[in-house]
Each structure stands twice: as structure tokens, then as C-alpha cells.
Amino acid sequence: MGRVDDKVALITGGARGLGEATGRLMAREGATVVLTDILDDDGKALAESIQSEGGMAEYIRQDVTDEDQWDELISDITSRHGRIDVVVNNAGVVHDATVEDTTLEAWRHVNAVNSEAVFLGTRAAIKAMKDQDPQGGSIVNISSVAGLVGIDNLAAYNASKGAVRLFSKSAALHVAQSGYNIRVNSVHPSYTWTPMVQHLGDNTGDRDAFFDALGEAHPLGRPGVPMDIAYGVIYLASDESTWVTGSELVIDGGLTAR
């Protein structure tokens, strides 16, 4: 028996990185996985790869910042698959700049993708989950350790991820008090070796040295790998966590314990 058997799960930013690992794991554990992204080639190839391993997956193009696309996407999923049980608001972008070096344009873009779109996705998910039979679902919003502690060169990213943390608690309280049987939680990974973090490494001029420095920065001696985070997400998505809502799952190799 799989941990998310028969569940229909949407994963945004699902073409690569943490979204890819989460999609692969959820499909392996019995979910029908809908991956969305703006990287169509990667997304299609991943869905085909999951299918070739016997999993149920499909790719749909979605820009998470587009409000209208959210309603279309969720009604497409519910009409074809009957329901939606899990929404992982995972799509994100990083901008490595201090407050002094951040343009208003960059600030708005980072906050549109990382924060505003999490609001759009959570709201759209609630609308569908509260009206289906049986009612309910799990919404997992990917924040970051940058939603917990300050990082000098991630000004806009810090703001966007901090917003996800408290917004998720607000939504969790609302849906609990409304009796919708919906849970909302946030996940807070530290530096995990994905294309996003590799890009940060490239910006330092020495990706390998950056990798080594990340190892030294974490008490457990290494940066994360995508499956470290996917295992946390699937716990929150599954019925193993039916009494968990409004919580923040920190997966950080001990970084914020100091």
C-alpha cells in the first residue's frame, strides 16, 4: 500500500528540483501527480519518465502568478480526475541581492512568484477541496529557512518566504474553524542541491567551493538532497498527518538549531 494511494496531487514548479523529487516520490507512493511549470520540455520529460516507471503523472503548463490560470487548472483537474486532494505550492525563484542592491522590479517578481502565487494556489485549492465529496485535502506551502531567519543577500526572498510562513498559519486557522477538513502547513528547507542553488553557486564564481561551504555551514555536514525535502512533503500530504495543521516543518540539516 502506498502512502498517498488514490490521492490526486498538484505540484507547482514540478519540472525539476524539489518539485521533481516530490512528484517522483508521490507517484511511487500511489498518487496521481499533476506537475505544472513554465519549463515545458523538462516537465513533459519528467511526466514521461514517471509513467515509464509505472506511475501516474501528467504535465500541464502553468504560470503560477496568473490568477485566471488557477481556476482553469483546478477545474480541469477536478473534472478529469474527480477531485483534488493535495496542492503543493512549490514554484519559486531566488534573487541573490541585499536590500541595497534589490530593484523594485526584482522585489515584485520574487514576491509575485514566491508569495502572491502561494496565496492564489491556496485560495484556489480551498475552493475546490471544501466543495468535493468527501470534503477535504492538504495544502503544503514551500517556504524556506529564509522564512525563519534573515540572510543578508536574500532580501526579497527572505520577505517572500516569511510571508508564506504566516500566511499558511492564517489559512490553516480559517479552514479549521470553518470545518472544511483541510490542512495547511509550510515546509522550510535549507540549502538543497537543486538547479536553483547550483545557480547561486555559479554566481559566486566557484560552484564546487560553494558546495563545500554549504557542507560546512550545516551541522549535519552536507547540503540537502531533493529527496530530504520530498519525504517531509509527502508526510504532510498523506493521512499520516491528519492532526497537523498550521505547522512549520523545518528540514535544514540543523542550520537553524544554532
Ligand X SMILES: NC(=O)c1ccc[n+]([C@@H]2O[C@H](COP(=O)([O-])OP(=O)(O)OC[C@H]3O[C@@H](n4cnc5c(N)ncnc54)[C@H](O)[C@@H]3O)[C@@H](O)[C@H]2O)c1
Just list the catalytic residues: 157
Write out the binding residues for ligand X, residues 4-33 only, by CB under 6 A. 12-13, 15-19
In the set 8, 33, 73, 92, which binds ligand X (CB under 6 A)? 92
Instruction: Give the range of 52-60, 68-76, 91-99, 231-239 binding ligand X by CB under 6 A.
Output: 91-99
- The Cα 141–Cα 232 span in angstroms is 12
Q: How many residues bind ligand X (CB under 6 A)?
A: 29
Question: Least separation, in Å, of the C-beta of 249 and ligand X?
Answer: 12
Question: Least separation, in Å, of the C-beta of 147 and ligand X?
Answer: 8
Instruction: Say if strands 248-251 and 182-189 run parallel, antiparallel, or are unpaired.
Output: parallel
Under the binding rule (CB under 6 A), the answer on residue 93 touching ligand X is yes
* Beta carbons within 10 angstroms of residue 69's beta carbon: 18
* Beta carbons within 10 angstroms of residue 177's beta carbon: 8
In the set 65, 132, 181, 247, which binds ligand X (CB under 6 A)? 65
Write out the binding residues for ligand X, residues 34-53 only, by CB under 6 A. 37-39
In the set 102, 144, 158, 238, which binds ligand X (CB under 6 A)? 144
495544502: which residue's cell? 139
Question: Least separation, in Å, of the C-beta of 188 and ligand X?
Answer: 7
Question: Least separation, in Å, of the C-beta of 3 and ligand X?
Answer: 21
Sheet holding 8-12, edge to edge: 56-61, 32-37, 8-12, 86-89, 137-142, 182-189, 248-251
In the set 91, 120, 139, 249, which binds ligand X (CB under 6 A)? 91
The nearer residue to ligand X, 109 or 130, going by C-beta atoms, is 109
Cell of 133: 465529496
Distances (CA, A) of 42 to 35, 45, 71, 176: 11, 5, 24, 37
Select from 24, 20, 178, 156 the least CA-distant residue to 101.
Answer: 156
Under the binding rule (CB under 6 A), the answer on residue 59 touching ligand X is no
Under the binding rule (CB under 6 A), the answer on residue 153 touching ligand X is no
In the set 23, 137, 189, 232, which binds ligand X (CB under 6 A)? 189
Under the binding rule (CB under 6 A), the answer on residue 186 touching ligand X is no
Distance of CA 16 to the CA centre of its chain: 11
Question: Least separation, in Å, of the C-beta of 186 and ligand X?
Answer: 10
Distance of CA 228 to the CA centre of its chain: 13
Question: Least separation, in Å, of the C-beta of 93 and ligand X?
Answer: 5
Give the chain's radius of gyration (CA, Å). 17
* Beta carbons within 10 angstroms of residue 153's beta carbon: 15
Q: How many residues in the chain?
A: 258
Write out the binding residues for ligand X, residues 103-142 only, by CB under 6 A. 113-114, 142
Residues that bind ligand X (CB under 6 A): 12-13, 15-19, 37-39, 62-65, 90-93, 113-114, 142, 144, 189, 191-192, 194-197
